[in-house]
Structure 1
Amino acid sequence: MTRRWYTEDMHSIKEIFKKGPGPSSSHTLGPMNAALYMKHQYPQADRWKAELQGSLALTGKGHLTDEILIRTLGENTEVVFNLKASPEHPNTMYITAFQGSDALGTDQFVSIGGGKLEINGVPAASTPEIYPHSTMAAIRLWCKGQDITLDQYVDMVEGPELTAYLEDIMDTMIQSVQDGLKAEGLLPGSLKLKRVAKELHEDALACTDPDEIFHLLLASYAFAASEQNAAGGTVVTAPTMGSCGILPALIYHFIHDRHYKREQLMKGLKVAGLVGNLIQTNATISGAKGGCQAEVGAACAMGSAMIACAAGQSDGQVEYAAEMGLEHHLGLTCDPVGGYVMIPCIERNAMAALRSVDNARLSRHILRVKHERVSFDHVVEAMNITGMKLPMELKESSLGGLAVVIPNEAQEQ
């Protein structure tokens, strides 16, 4: 197979990291952006009709899609869940603007992940394609020739303004953890799921085993950010809201518990964004398109690379850490119970955060004793193929997997 080496089809990594209300970048943030677009296009409209199709219709209630549309467009908004339509993309919706009894216009939106949209078949993002390479192999080859590291490559392409943008992103990530650690009670929805981050954190502080302390602390941070997301709080797509607990947990843990300098984590965050960008460019970060391997798997790859980079490991070790993070999530299904971003999503974020640390550690040692046969690009390609072969029931539809074996009385459709 002929691989692309020099192309121009990757946008800024700012597109990977976006702030917004949870619980889902594709089902909440994307529809919110669609509603804002319609309000700008039709300022004279006094009522609206939104038709949700595919995954947006099947899991829209649990993902608060209808609530965010009504909150953004206004109370005079009708939301229709069309369960019979078979759209080409599972995250398809139509919004019609009305003035009185007259329809002003209808626009089609496809929520492609990370809050980004295609509008009437055209990508909405007007950001330029700024990266001269679109595979890890091409980037690594170029960096070797220039004698620079992956984070320096990101700085070279993006310019100095990226650091200021990511400083704000990092602050928001940390805040999502801090807010989640303080919160108590039940998460919204019929599952009646209890928040556990605060108690888990207290258990960690009461431990005497140092290894267990670090594991419980890191898990509590991932629970904290993920519970904030499930409750509709402000979080960061990393690369999606369904996987928003992994990078914040790692950043918070390594700054507060392991005393890494913020500058180290900032370098790592840039590389994490590059990894997420490569996955989105060559595969997908949408759970409705590729399953949870595209969300939590991608985030684990990003987190693994971030920690390896922050620890001062080589670019080869960073790539290997990212490759392991994605490889060992291949085939992971997206089967949210009741359509809520809670079961299995919250625990899954904690597990991936823990695995990110393991991957960074393993990559440091394994490459010293053997040559790795599987590249990051190989795994991204495999994830894309796997995602296409996963049945629709296992891709954010709540029609398969855990979503059908958990007792129906716990679900709300």
Structure 2
Amino acid sequence: MPHEAISVFDMFKIGVGPSSSHTLGPWRAAQSFINKLENNSRLHSVISLTVLLYGSLAKTGKGHGTDIAIQLGLCGEDPETFAVEDINKRINDIALSKKISLGGIKNISFDPYTDIVFLMQESLPYHPNAVSFLVELHNNEKISETYYSIGGGFVKQEGEQNMNRSAVALPFPVNTASDLLHWCMKTGLSIHEVVLENENAWQPEKETKDRVMRIFHTMRDCIYKGCHEGGILPGGLFVKRRASALNKKLLGNKTYTGFNSWKNCIQEGGNGFKYTLDWVSCFALAVNEQNASFGRVVTAPTNGAAGVIPAVLMYYIVFGDGNSEDAIINFLLTASEIGSIFKKGATISAAMGGCQAEIGVSSAMAAGALTEAMGGTQKQSLMAAEIAMEHHLGLTCDPIAGLVQVPCIERNTMGAIKAITASQLALQSTPDFAKVSLDAVIKTMWDTAVDMNHKYKETAEGGLAINIPLGLSEC
């Protein structure tokens, strides 16, 4: 059976909030389209451009900043490096001038209010998150290309064949949890060791470890920044940030300078249950409040679920034995492999599977990684991932006003706590007696996704999205 080769850096991508499928994906799609025009020597011939948003991208695009992301992508900016504090100015300049610089080199007339079209009632069959770019050239030639944002920042062009990364021959090909367990049992390697061996097919081991630490540093900086920024989240719901206030409450009058000093202050408070629980929630809140504010985050495996894995990893670092580069790298390698199995066997797109595909998958990833980090066997790690997902099955995605705020931010705290609980259960259990396998729960998740009503799949057309008055939620 052919295998899909997915790297840790496919699952963990540095970008900008609030959504991997509605912000990061469209941004990458716009970048890809502009790069293709330039590579085909057509960029300088463009005289007009229209962007069409379909399905979920249209219905919740405004709340997710899809139009903003696309404009920045068309300008040739990169979501991994573009200064997030400059987003508003760049977008305002485009709107006022009614001009855009394609790839930063070709200026054309462009009015985002008319040239980005939200087709609320139209959806393309391949995937609910679709965007088409229509251009006219000087010679009257017209070009139309369609891209699908399929979750977690992954983008697929219509008609494109998956020949690049999947063509890589990995020493330990994995499509299912059973495949992963097979290689672990055959070689005696832990999950993170299997992943590291596979990563060698793409780059040297040192480069892999350096890049994983860059992923961690982005997560760490996001947590720290989120724990020290107050105010109201953008978008019109008037949701108050809570991580900063909780951070101050938990630390009292303690003073510190920088992350390490702050971490030491947290550790001085002990490891009581309530205290630890509050900090795990604080870590998760911090990340997703940054995500909701167009901050720099890491898909884990998505932006909407970006707080779960960093919160559990910080729990391991602050309250466990995870304060070393090796421990951090191993944790993230294991988490990525579990996430990739979910992507191959089901989906990590809320527009396809509801929130079980985001918070559920991130919780499973964190549970499996924490279990191995705490000394659990490979079977216990997979058991923990199964437990975490089993208790997220059927979770809908119904963001109020299409914003990644309510209920999304709090759900990250729940996903993190469930991951820790699932890990503890697995560590105290014998997997050979388990009734449900990880592969079975992944299949069940996909079956549930197929059966789920479309209005509960990131459309803001059902559930909390229609039952909570705007401006009165979670204030």
Task: Pick the TM interval, shorter chain.
Answer: over 0.9
TM-score by length of 2: 0.81
Contact persistence 1:337–1:404 (CA under 8 A): yes
One-letter amino acid matched to 2:367 = S
**Cα shift at 1:123:** 5.0
Q: 1:97 to 1:299 in 2, by over 3 A?
A: same
**Cα shift at 1:13:** 2.4
Q: 1:155 aligns with which of 190, 196, 203?
A: 196
State the match for 1:51 in structure 2. Answer: 52
For residues 336 and 130 of structure 2, the distance between their equivalents in structure 1, rounded to whole angstroms, comes to: 26
State the match for 2:118 in structure 1. Answer: 81
State the match for 2:265 in structure 1. Answer: none
More displaced stretch, 346-355 vs 256-265: 256-265
For residues 403 and 330 of structure 2, the distance between their equivalents in structure 1, rounded to whole angstroms, comes to: 33
Contact persistence 2:191–2:378 (CA under 8 A): yes
Q: 2:346 aligns with which of 258, 271, 283?
A: 283
State the match for 1:10 in structure 2. Answer: 5
State the match for 2:20 in structure 1. Answer: 25
Give unpaired runs (5+ residues) of structure 1.
1-5
One-letter amino acid matched to 1:17 = F
For residues 151 and 341 of structure 1, the distance between their equivalents in structure 2, rounded to whole angstroms, comes to: 31
State the match for 1:401 in structure 2. Answer: 463
For residues 192 and 470 of structure 2, the distance between their equivalents in structure 1, rounded to whole angstroms, comes to: 47
For residues 141 and 293 of structure 2, the distance between their equivalents in structure 1, rounded to whole angstroms, comes to: 35
The root-mean-square deviation of aligned C-alpha atoms, in Å, is 2.0
More displaced stretch, 154-163 vs 176-185: 154-163
Once the two structures are superposed, residues 271-325 of structure 1 have per-residue CA deviations (whole angstroms, 9 ceiling, x without a partner) of 1000000000110000000000000000000010111111111111101110011
State the match for 1:303 in structure 2. Answer: 366
For residues 410 and 67 of structure 1, the distance between their equivalents in structure 2, rounded to whole angstroms, comes to: 26
Contact persistence 1:173–1:248 (CA under 8 A): yes
Q: Are residue 373 (structure 1) and residue 419 (structure 2) matched?
A: no
State the match for 2:83 in structure 1. Answer: none
Contact persistence 1:96–1:103 (CA under 8 A): no
State the match for 1:3 in structure 2. Answer: none
State the match for 2:322 in structure 1. Answer: 260
For residues 194 and 430 of structure 2, the distance between their equivalents in structure 1, rounded to whole angstroms, comes to: 22
State the match for 2:80 in structure 1. Answer: none
Contact persistence 1:297–1:330 (CA under 8 A): yes
For residues 396 and 163 of structure 1, the distance between their equivalents in structure 2, rounded to whole angstroms, comes to: 35
Q: Secondary structure at the match of 2:230?
A: coil
Once the two structures are superposed, residues 354-397 of structure 1 have per-residue CA deviations (whole angstroms, 9 ceiling, x without a partner) of 111111111111228x7101110000000001001101000000
**Cα shift at 1:409:** 5.9
State the match for 1:241 in structure 2. Answer: 303
Q: 1:122 aligns with which of 143, 156, 160?
A: 160
Counterparts of residues 194-205 of structure 1 (less than 5 Å): 194-205=240-251
Q: 2:236 aligns with which of 190, 194, 206?
A: 190
Q: 2:214 aligns with which of 134, 143, 168?
A: 168
Q: Are residue 63 (structure 1) and residue 100 (structure 2) matched?
A: no
Give unpaired runs (5+ residues) of structure 2.
38-42, 76-93, 95-109, 253-268
Greater CA radius of gyration, 1 or 2?
2
State the match for 1:341 in structure 2. Answer: 404
Q: Are residue 133 (structure 1) and residue 179 (structure 2) matched?
A: no
Q: 1:213 aligns with which of 275, 282, 307?
A: 275
Q: Secondary structure at the match of 1:61?
A: helix
For residues 410 and 125 of structure 1, the distance between their equivalents in structure 2, rounded to whole angstroms, comes to: 48
Q: Are residue 330 (structure 1) and residue 331 (structure 2) matched?
A: no
Contact persistence 2:216–2:328 (CA under 8 A): no
For residues 438 and 382 of structure 2, the distance between their equivalents in structure 1, rounded to whole angstroms, comes to: 6
Q: Secondary structure at the match of 1:62?
A: helix
One-letter amino acid matched to 1:32 = W
More displaced stretch, 7-16 vs 191-200: 7-16
For residues 430 and 49 of structure 2, the distance between their equivalents in structure 1, rounded to whole angstroms, comes to: 57
One-letter amino acid matched to 2:122 = A
More displaced stretch, 9-18 vs 250-259: 250-259
Q: Are residue 105 (structure 1) and residue 109 (structure 2) matched?
A: no
Q: 1:103 to 1:235 in 2, by over 3 A?
A: farther
Q: Are residue 232 (structure 1) and residue 294 (structure 2) matched?
A: yes
Q: Secondary structure at the match of 2:430?
A: helix
For residues 201 and 174 of structure 1, the distance between their equivalents in structure 2, rounded to whole angstroms, comes to: 15
Contact persistence 1:204–1:214 (CA under 8 A): no
Aligned length: 405
One-letter amino acid matched to 2:224 = Q
For residues 7 and 385 of structure 1, the distance between their equivalents in structure 2, rounded to whole angstroms, comes to: 22
**Cα shift at 1:150:** 1.1
State the match for 1:355 in structure 2. Answer: 418
For residues 107 and 234 of structure 1, the distance between their equivalents in structure 2, rounded to whole angstroms, comes to: 29
Q: Secondary structure at the match of 1:68?
A: helix
**Cα shift at 1:208:** 8.4
One-letter amino acid matched to 1:260 = G
TM-score by length of 1: 0.93
**Cα shift at 1:266:** 1.7
